[in-house]
Structure 1
Amino acid sequence: MTLVDVSQISAALFITGAIFILLFFGLLSLGVLKMFQLKYRQGWFSFIGAVVSGAAFGIILNTWFV
């Protein structure tokens, strides 16, 4: 194993990634929780929100950081 140099990552990229990771996985886990509670409509909306936030993250990365 080698060390990874992360000194080239900007603070804006790190914060953007952290926010979207928390948003994506939060919505995903909320969707699973709602499915277990048999609230299927709310669960599917959470899953759709997770997909939309993932797509928005991809677009923002492609627009601002590439």
Structure 2
Amino acid sequence: MTLVDVSTISAGLFITGAIFILLIFSLLSFGILKMFQLQIRAGWYSFAGAVVSGVAFGLILNQWFV
């Protein structure tokens, strides 16, 4: 196992990644919770929000950081 140099990662990339990762996984977990509560429509909306957030994250990464 080797060390990874993370000093080249910009603060903007780190903050953007942290915000989107928190958003995507919170929407996924909220969707699973709503499915267990048998609120099917709200669960699917949360899953759709997670997918839209993932696509937006990919577009932002491609536009600003690549």
Shorter-chain TM-score above 0.5:
yes
User: How many percent identity over aligned positions?
Assistant: 79
Q: TM-score, normalised by structure 1?
A: 1.00
5+ residue gaps in structure 1?
none
Aligned positions, number: 66
Cα shift at 1:42: 0.1
Q: TM-score, normalised by structure 2?
A: 1.00
CA RMSD for the aligned pairs?
A: 0.2
**Greater than 4 Å deviation, 4+ residue runs:** none
The Cα offsets for residues 13-54 of structure 1, whole Å up to 9 and x where unpaired, read as: 000000000000000000000000000000000000000000
CA distance in 1, matches of 2:7, 2:26: 28
| Equivalent position SS for 2:56 | helix
* 1:1-66 aligned within 5 A: 1-66=1-66
CA distance in 2, matches of 1:51, 1:4: 30
Cα shift at 1:55: 0.2
CA distance in 1, matches of 2:3, 2:36: 41
CA distance in 1, matches of 2:3, 2:37: 43
